[in-house]
């Protein structure tokens, strides 16, 4: 059965263009068109689409309001179309906070180098997101939970039990419903009664490195808002994102987190308790020695598929920090991060991957897990807790 898609945009030209592309894929079929968010909300009720493509700026009801309402009445995977401007970046991040799962530039020339690649990417994104329809509906509190994640860290401090505050090499057993509340429960199919076991390795670290793509903005927000201000190591973040988005995303995270979050700049010296978000369109490399290491921001390169690229940053971190990196590969399409994670593991560092059930797209983590590189495959709502345990902070 074909994947049912609802196309929402106030431009008749863009609705027709997107519909033609979607209908050209035998896996997909457009079952309706809406000209504004209010129409979309009404159509969702009786058409029950598997995926929605959504514009942001529309009359009557804008896309962000529509996303929030759809997540309330009938949670459905939503792909946003965004302009690559600073205002577009803020609106897109607001839409992701409201519950949208992914976004693409509205101008097709901004999606890929040629039209065929852009068409292929749009079709793949829609097909990938379709599998999350029943997942979202099974977790109907997602929208309100994501909204809660926009509040400061203090509201989401994990209630670590006595067993969780164990010493390294001790098996930790806790209950999902007791350990984390609010936004931390979103994005996982775990029930409150499901036991969770984690054994701290006792390793010593000097860097936390996290790579992600589709679904990453919300995933990073969930993790970073739970880290304390006195986090003992620098953090490097690689999120596949356009150049105009990363500054706005870093600023948003900085406002929500106790740690400092900034867009990485060339020459930045890595400091404890600071998270450095790789610039869109560029590559971020770790350089120097582990004490006093700094960042190099270099041209993204036409031959690189991803700018920034997780493999590039992970690989450079492996050379500088050897076995002292705790690295995590989160939700995302493709396999970026696998080879960088392989280098980290070969040098003795630790690699974790997000588990399938809590991923928006189980591509990047699956590539790491299937290659036998990750030592733990963790649900998103427990990753921050496991970081604190692994580093001996809990």
CATH of the domain at 271: 3.40.50.180
The pLDDT of residue 139 is 60
Quick: pLDDT tens for 266-280. Answer: 999 999 999 999 999
The pLDDT of residue 145 is 45
Neighbours of 369 (CB within 10 A): 21
Q: Please tell me which residue, 236 or 138, carries the higher pLDDT value.
A: 236
3-state helix, strand and coil shares in percent for the chain, rounded to the nearest 5: 40, 20, 40
Domain-embedded: residue 228: yes
Q: Do 161 and 27 reside in the same domain of the chain?
A: no
Q: Do 132 and 160 reside in the same domain of the chain?
A: no
Spatial contact of 28 and 123, defined as CB atoms under 8 Å apart: yes
Query: For the residues of 77-101, what is the DSSP string, one character each?
Result: -EEEEE-SSHHHHHHHHHHHHHT--
**Plot region of 242 (φ>0 → left; ψ -120 to 50 → alpha; else → beta):** beta
Among candidate residues 148, 213, 358, 394, the one labeled active-site is 213
- Number of domains the chain contains: 2
Among candidate residues 102, 336, 355, 381, the one labeled active-site is 336
Spatial contact of 327 and 341, defined as CB atoms under 8 Å apart: yes
Q: What is the mean pLDDT of the chain?
A: 86
Q: Do 24 and 61 reside in the same domain of the chain?
A: yes
Domain-embedded: residue 145: no
Quick: pLDDT tens for 275-328. Answer: 999 999 999 999 998 788 999 999 977 778 899 999 999 999 999 999 999 999
Domain-embedded: residue 102: yes
Give the residue-averaged pLDDT of 257-270.
Answer: 98
Quick: pLDDT tens for 338-387. Answer: 999 999 999 999 999 999 999 999 999 999 999 999 999 999 999 999 99
Spatial contact of 253 and 220, defined as CB atoms under 8 Å apart: yes
Domain-embedded: residue 207: yes
Spatial contact of 329 and 365, defined as CB atoms under 8 Å apart: yes
Domain coverage including residue 185 = 152-390
Is the pLDDT assigned to residue 188 strictly greater than 90?
Answer: no
Among candidate residues 10, 50, 233, 240, the one labeled active-site is 240
- Helix, strand or coil, per DSSP, at residue 381: helix
Query: For the residues of 16-78, what is the DSSP string, one character each?
Result: HHHHHHHHTSTTEEEEEEESSHHHHHHHHHHH--SEEEEESS-SSS-HHHHHHHHHHHS---E
The angle formed by the CA atoms of residues 68, 73 and 78, to the nearest 5 degrees, is 50
Q: Do 102 and 241 reside in the same domain of the chain?
A: no
Q: Do 275 and 376 reside in the same domain of the chain?
A: yes
Is the pLDDT assigned to residue 66 strictly greater than 80?
Answer: yes
Give the residue-averaged pLDDT of 255-274.
Answer: 98
Quick: pLDDT tens for 137-185. Answer: 656 544 444 444 444 433 333 333 322 333 333 334 333 332 332 233 3
- Tell me whether residue 240 is one of the annotated catalytic residues: yes
Domain-embedded: residue 85: yes
Q: Do 170 and 286 reside in the same domain of the chain?
A: yes
Q: Do 27 and 103 reside in the same domain of the chain?
A: yes
Domain-embedded: residue 206: yes
Is the pLDDT assigned to residue 99 strictly greater than 90?
Answer: yes
Q: Do 187 and 272 reside in the same domain of the chain?
A: yes
Report CA-CA distances (Å) from 289 to 145, 285, 316, 364: 41, 13, 11, 28
Q: Do 222 and 274 reside in the same domain of the chain?
A: yes
Domain-embedded: residue 146: no
The pLDDT of residue 195 is 61
The pLDDT of residue 178 is 28
Closest CA to 40 of 15, 5, 6: 6
Which of the residue ranges 41-50, 87-96, 178-187, 226-235 would you say has the lowest mean pLDDT? Answer: 178-187
Domain termination residue (choose one: 110, 138, 166): 138
């Amino acid at each position: 059965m074909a994947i049912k898609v609802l196309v929402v945009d106030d431009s008749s030209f863009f609705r027709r263009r997107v519909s033609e592309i979607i209908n050209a894929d035998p896996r997909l079929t457009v079952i309706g068109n809406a000209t504004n968010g209010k129409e979309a909300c009404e159509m969702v009720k009786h058409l029950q689409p598997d995926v929605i493509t959504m514009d942001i700026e529309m009359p009557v009801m804008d896309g962000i309001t529509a996303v929030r309402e759809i997540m309330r009445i009938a949670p459905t995977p939503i792909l946003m179309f965004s302009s690559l401007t600073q205002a577009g970046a803020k609106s897109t991040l607001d839409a992701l906070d409201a519950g949208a799962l992914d976004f693409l530039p509205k101008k097709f020339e901004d999606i890929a180098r040629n039209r065929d690649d852009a068409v292929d990417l749009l079709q793949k994104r829609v097909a990938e997101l379709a599998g999350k329809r029943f997942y979202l509906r099974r977790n109907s509190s997602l929208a309100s939970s994501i909204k809660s994640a926009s509040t400061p860290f203090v509201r989401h401090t994990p209630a670590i039990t006595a067993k969780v505050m164990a010493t390294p090499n001790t098996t930790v057993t806790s209950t999902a419903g007791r350990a984390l509340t609010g936004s931390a429960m979103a994005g996982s199919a775990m029930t409150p009664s499901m036991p969770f076991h984690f054994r701290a390795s006792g390793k010593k670290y000097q860097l936390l490195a996290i790579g992600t793509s589709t679904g990453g903005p919300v995933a990073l927000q969930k993790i970073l808002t739970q880290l304390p201000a006195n986090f003992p190591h620098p953090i490097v973040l690689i999120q596949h994102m356009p150049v105009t988005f990363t500054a706005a995303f870093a600023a948003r995270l900085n406002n929500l987190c106790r740690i400092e979050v900034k867009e990485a700049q060339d020459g930045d010296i890595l400091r404890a308790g600071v998270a450095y978000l790789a610039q869109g369109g560029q590559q971020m490399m770790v350089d120097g020695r582990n004490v006093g290491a700094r960042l190099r921001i270099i041209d993204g390169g036409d031959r690189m598929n991803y700018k920034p690229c997780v493999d590039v940053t992970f690989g450079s971190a492996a050379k500088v920090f050897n076995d002292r990196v705790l690295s995590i590969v989160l939700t995302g399409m493709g396999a970026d991060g696998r080879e960088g994670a392989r280098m980290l593991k070969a040098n003795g560092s630790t690699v974790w991957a997000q588990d399938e059930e809590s991923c928006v797209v189980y591509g990047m983590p699956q590539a790491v897990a299937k290659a036998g590189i990750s030592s733990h495959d963790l649900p998103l709502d427990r990753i921050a807790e496991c970081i604190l345990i692994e580093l001996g902070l809990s």
